[in-house]
Every structure is written in C-alpha cells, then in structure tokens.
C-alpha cells in the first residue's frame, strides 16, 4: 500500500534529527512513535487542507522507516483512510509523523522522552 521509498517534509526531518541529537533515538524509530502518538490523539489528515511538501533529504525505504510496525502502520492507515490513493496515503503518514513529533520534539534527554511516550 505505501510506496517502497518514503520521505517527510524538511521541517519534520529536522525535528527528528534534533531529537536524535538530544536523545539518541534514530529518526526512523522516533517517526514510528510519533505516528502512533498522532493516531492515538485522534488527529486526522485532510488532503484538502494539506500544504506540506515532502521535500526532506532523508529518503528511506518503508522497511527502514516502519520496521516491525510496517503491517500495523499500513492497516491503521487503511482503516482510517479506506478510499485514499497511495499518493495521499504517504502524505497522511507524513502528516501523522509531523503531528506526533510536535509533542516529542522538545525533549532534551532520553528519560524525559520515555516519560512522554508512556
């Protein structure tokens, strides 16, 4: 369902990289946590209100981005957006990561980060 190569917006990517510098958590793992954090918060992607461009330089395959959460992530996206095209589905994933990272991005150490996701 999701394409093999995926990327985020430059702004989201920068936030993930800063978080890695503070906590040591790699961008792909932080993106997974941010995605599910966003879904739990009931954020919903609306294509007609999307102005973000997926212009980040970190282009990874979906196995690297999603890891063991690949099937779960795709099923959640399919459940939330059953009629969405593949192109919009990747934008939905990216929007969820951006929404979820907003809560997690300011943590300066691993302990505060872990406390925030619990």
What is residue 91's predicted lDDT score, i.e. its pLDDT? 94
Q: What is the CATH number of the domain that holds 95?
A: 1.10.1220.160
pLDDT band of residue 49 (cuts 50, 70, 90) is confident
pTM: 0.89
pLDDT higher than 80, residue 117: no
Total count of residues recorded for the chain? 118
Q: How far from the centroid of its chain's Cα atoms is residue 16's Cα? A: 9
Full domain range(s) for residue 104: 5-42+55-117
Structural element, H or E, at residue 61: strand 60-61
Asked whether residue 107 is assigned to any structural domain, the reply reads yes
Query: pLDDT tens for residues 3-47?
Result: 899 999 999 999 999 999 988 999 999 999 999 999 999 999 998
Of 110 and 83, the one with more pLDDT: 83
Q: In a 10 Å sphere around its CB, with 0-12 CB exposed, 13-18 middle and 19+ buried, how is residue 4 labelled? A: exposed
Asked whether residue 20 is assigned to any structural domain, the reply reads yes
């Amino acid at each position: 369902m999701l394409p093999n190569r995926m990327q985020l917006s430059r702004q989201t990517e920068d936030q993930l990289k800063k978080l890695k510098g503070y906590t040591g958590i790699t961008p792909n793992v932080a993106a997974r946590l941010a995605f599910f954090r966003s879904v739990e918060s009931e954020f919903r992607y609306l294509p007609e209100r999307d102005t973000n461009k997926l212009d980040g330089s970190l282009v990874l395959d979906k196995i690297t981005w999603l890891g063991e959460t690949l099937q779960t992530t795709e099923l959640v996206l399919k459940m939330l957006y059953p009629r969405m095209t593949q192109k919009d589905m990747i934008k939905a994933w990216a929007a969820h990561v951006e929404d979820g990272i907003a809560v997690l991005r300011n943590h300066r150490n691993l302990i505060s980060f872990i406390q925030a996701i619990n």
